[in-house]
Chain A
Amino acid sequence: MLEIKNLQSRIGDTEILHGLSLSVNVGEVHAIMGPNGSGKSTLAQVVAGHEDHVVTGGEVLFNGSDLLQLAPEERAREGIFLGFQYPVEIPGVNNAYLLKAAVNAKRQHQGLGEIDAFEFLKLAREKMAALGMDPKFLNRGVNEGFSGGEKKRNEILQMAMLEPKLAILDETDSGLDIDALKAVAEGVNALRRPDRAIVLVTHYQRLLDYIEPDHVHVLSGGRIVRSGDKSLALELEEKGYDWVREAASA
């Protein structure tokens, strides 16, 4: 589904990704781990099309077609979802309004008509109930005054509504207490499906106690230095990131 080959990128004058390769198949859950500054979030942003990042080499294919040619909104409509580490606040814009606009943008791309207002509300309420979210959140400004946990739940709600083919969740666990972490993890687990791939970007192993990955990759210095199954995450937890840094420089 997602094929990244020898990807290189920079932001400003700083090279971040140094020939990263990764292959994600449909139905799989991958975890990308690594120390701060290793390029985890950059990878997520480059795949989503953030324009601050300049791709200087390599390629990214999504279901066989060149993803790098597409604008961020086109990638989103093709089914790529990025759960943000720091979801931005948009004061004055109703949460329901954004959500509905997003759903309709995708439906239009698929040649479907706009979603009926009642149908939309019904669907949104259902998904919110499953995530333990108060329906009042629909009428608040996008992420406006939300707590850290509320923002992350809101990201998962958007994912649930948009039904992406590939979801990249960037540090979805950061800043969450244990209850919020569980709720978010349950939400993600409920969205695991054979026709969907999920990439979890995380600094800590603890998220993986709740969402079990099929593959774990360790990123260091802008490339993947080790890949394995979930036991790699545990090994990492035990030995720390210095171990991979040594492995990378060796």
Chain B
Amino acid sequence: MEVLASFIQNILDLGAAVFLPFVIFILGVAVRMKVGKAFSSGLTLGVAFVGISLLITFIMGNVGEAAKQFTQNTGIQLKALDLGWPPALGLCWQWKYAFIMFPVQIGINLIMLFLGLTSTLNVDMWNVANKIFNAFLAATVTGSAVIGFLFAAATIVMELKCGDYTKHQVRELTGIPGISLPHPMFISNVFYYPLSRLLDFILPAKSNINATNLKNYIGVFGENHVMGFIIGTLIGLLGGYGVGASFMLGIQAGTALTLFPLVSKLFMTALTPLSDAANTFIKKRFPGKEIVIGLDWPILAGNPEIWVTIILTIPVALGVAMVLPGNIVFPFGNLMGPSIVAPIFLATKGHLIKMLIISYLTVPILCWSASDFAPMLSQLALENGAQLPDGQLMAWWGMDISEVRWIFVNSLDGRTPFLLGVALFVVLSVFYFKWMRKEEADALVRMAR
């Protein structure tokens, strides 16, 4: 027994890039993958970890260094560079209890289905990572993994309910029957939907613009390498680099933003056999029951309003980040992230003007929440072997449910003013589900016409 314990401890000490492939291999064989394929899957995960560290070190070494120069030149304290969701959601798999989140999510979902508390069967196993991230944050500030899992469990219940209560509206928007969107990002609509209703009073009734044409003009800025180049060059110029060196920095930034998703894809490739096995497991237990399939957000990604809003938020985000007191994050890698705008799209039913206003209003909270969580995220990156320049941090700006994570995690951290936010969230939730019941009924009526 002791030999086994020390053997396991030795493997754990080797770091996530070595021991998690073991975990995937063993789990893969357990769900009856062929040994060779399970081995390949496991190694893919190791490659993903090393790849993501490599990119973090690369981007922090050039763009991070320039951002540091910028800080020294101007006195504007933005010492944390936003690297977007790929490193954050990738790295959180190395949290000690990460893999337990699979059975937790599936278990809660099945129990709620059996008890008739939800009609959604969530088959989106990728976003287990978002719940792991929640648990990691809560566990880090409280020092208790149990509290971490309780926070994650509450998120799972809430996202299923939010999926249930918007499924007809989603069908109306996408034309796909039998699905819902139980992604945690849509929990934010507890805040965004009332804002959207409030804007109805302020804005004239016919005040929308067509996003399709607009997207044809500005869509090119949304491409990862183009956006990376522009922001990278900008950071270089602000950092006092010469024009040529700034262009080089722009290309490097474009390279990093193009490669991040490619490396993240490796996490997906490694985890797909497991998520397939999990899905077969749960689907077998629900033959013929009246259920909707819970999917990830990208079924909304064809709507140009989402990309137009994201692109038009970027200058505001950069401007606010420079002057906002308490912000230490330079928004960069996640400027094109959909985590905030996709739920706003649903809350406003794609009303572009309202989407822009709500998106602008969220910017300060995106900055503060990313600032608060940057040290925890940087610690995770360092543990995975990435290198950060002295005094620099990495951050995830514009993360999913930024405001929810911000108020709950800070409350758990003992910062009592944030309890007001929690109270507001609870009260608004009650109203939100009431409003959604009406919206769902209206959507059904419109579709029946």
A and B interact: no
Tell me the A residues contacting B by CB distance below 8 Å.
none
